[in-house]
Amino acid sequence: MKTTVHGGDLGEVRRRFPDAPLPWIDLSTGINPVAYPVPALPEESWTRLPTREAEERLLAAAAARYGVRDPATIVAAPGTQVLIQLLPRLVPKSRVMVLGPTYEEHALCWAAEGHELVEGDADVTVVVNPNNPTGRLLTPAELRNRGGLLVVDEAFMDFLPPEASIVADLPPETIVLRSFGKAYGLAGVRLGFAIAAKGMIDRLRQMLGPWAVSGPALEIGRQALEDSAWLQANARRLDADGRRLDALLVGAGFEIRGGTALFRLTRHRDASGMARRLGLHGIHVRAFSSQPSWLRFGLPGSDAEFDRLTKAVAS
């Protein structure tokens, strides 16, 4: 499997820009920069194996948050990436279409398990919705028109209206992935979910094995998913900060090409030069080798970060 570039790893960029001012501002990911406040956890969540009761409470909270009618049709995993790697093992060798350009791990994982990647008619269709990095959003009706097994990665769905998700009226032969860490800013918790018919969920649960999700993740995830007020307040903040970021970038010569509540995809006539300028100022953004004019910006998490970004793009 070829090496894939992801946002969020500052090691290489720090080596490239050793004299950059500290602390680094990492805008290379689509992770909420204002994280859910981690609650005090009961000691047993650290000292005992995760219990079935704790997992059931998490799944009930996730089902309520994501609009899942039956908690038996949702399974928790230690991050969505694990599920992306497991899904190709659930079906026989197939023709797979990954609607791109999108998160590269989907195509890599299906290819690594011997599936044939195609464009057009396929046995399996994989859609990231809303898409990363373009922000393209397909309606549930548009998704239902696709035949065969449908995999919908809704990692960036949390701040959209519930009717944007396909979960509420899940078609047969459909698997939906939901990410916890992005919306709640807690990527290190490693928590994600798959939603599908019970038979498929039972197979995934068996593949994940016992104690797949840690005790602290079960407790943190449950409390965050039950906290509707926090999510609503963050939706308002992200909307305001997104408009602020748009104005800043357009004023610096960027073209907004798309995005979600958690990031913006931009085009710039000298994207590589701009990425280098930002690196010299201790700001890391996501570049794309396949689209050299693109840069993706996560949202700054404070006024101080907005000020540093403003000075960097204007310098």
Same domain, 71 and 19: no
In a domain, 58, yes or no: yes
Q: Are residues 176 and 99 in the same domain?
A: yes
The b/e string for 121-145 (b: 16+ C-beta within 10 A; e otherwise) is ebbbbbbbbbbbbbbbebebeebee
In a domain, 36, yes or no: no
Residue 263 lies in a domain: yes
Say whether both 17 and 74 belong to one domain. Answer: no
Encode pLDDT of 37-64 as tens digits. Answer: 999 999 999 999 999 999 999 999 999 9
| CATH number of domain containing 17 | 3.90.1150.10
Residue 129 lies in a domain: yes
Residues belonging to the chain: 315
Listed residue (174, 203, 197) closest to 70, CA to CA:
197
Centroid of chain to Cα 94: 25
**What gap in Å lies between CA 263 and CA 269, rounded to an integer?**
20
Q: Domain ends where: 208, 226, 244?
A: 226
Answer yes or no: do 65 and 199 share one domain. yes
Preceding amide of 50 cis, omega within 30:
no
The pLDDT tens digits along the chain (315 residues) read 455 767 777 888 999 999 999 999 999 999 999 999 999 999 999 999 999 999 999 999 999 999 999 999 999 999 999 999 999 999 999 999 999 999 999 999 999 999 999 998 999 999 999 999 999 999 999 999 888 999 999 999 999 999 999 999 999 999 999 999 999 999 999 999 999 999 999 999 999 999 999 999 999 999 999 999 999 999 999 999 999 999 999 999 999 999 999 999 999 999 999 999 999 999 999 999 999 999 999 999 999 999 999 999 997
Amino acid 279: pLDDT: 97
**Rounded-to-integer distance, Cα 45 and Cα 214, Å:** 8
Q: Which residues pair with 45 in a beta bridge?
A: none
**Judgement on whether residues 52 and 165 belong to the same structural domain of the protein:** yes
Q: Which of 279, 311, 274, 314 is nearest to 292 (CA)?
A: 274
Which of 226, 259, 282 is the C-terminal boundary of a domain? 226
Same domain, 116 and 235: no
Residue 6 in domain: no
Number of domains in the chain: 2
Structure tokens at 271: 């994207």
**Residue 87 shares a structural domain with residue 192:** yes
Q: What percent of the chain has pLDDT over 70?
A: 98
Evaluate whether residue 158 is within a structural domain: yes
**201 vs 197: CA distance, rounded Å:** 6
Is 2 inside a domain boundary?
no
Q: Tell whether 189 and 289 lie within a shared domain.
A: no
How far CA 308 is from CA of 242, 255, 268, 284, in Å, comes to 16, 20, 19, 12
Tokens of 178: 């939901």
pLDDT (0 to 100) of residue 2: 54
> Are 99 and 181 within one domain?
yes
For residues 206 and 77, membership in a common domain is answered with yes
Residue 135 shares a structural domain with residue 188:
yes
Domain that holds residue 274: 11-30+229-314
Distances (CA, A) of 175 to 8, 169, 171: 27, 12, 9
Burial of 244 (0-12, 13-18, 19+ CB in 10 A): middle
Do 280 and 205 share a structural domain? no
CB proximity list for 253: less than 8 A, separation 6 or greater: 268, 269
The predicted structure's pLDDT at residue 3: 58
Ramachandran region, residue 94 (left: φ > 0; alpha: ψ -120 to 50; beta: rest): beta
Domain boundary (203, 226, 249) is at: 226
> Residue 135 domain-assigned?
yes
Which CATH number covers residue 180? 3.40.640.10
pTM over cut 0.85: yes
pLDDT of residue 6: 77
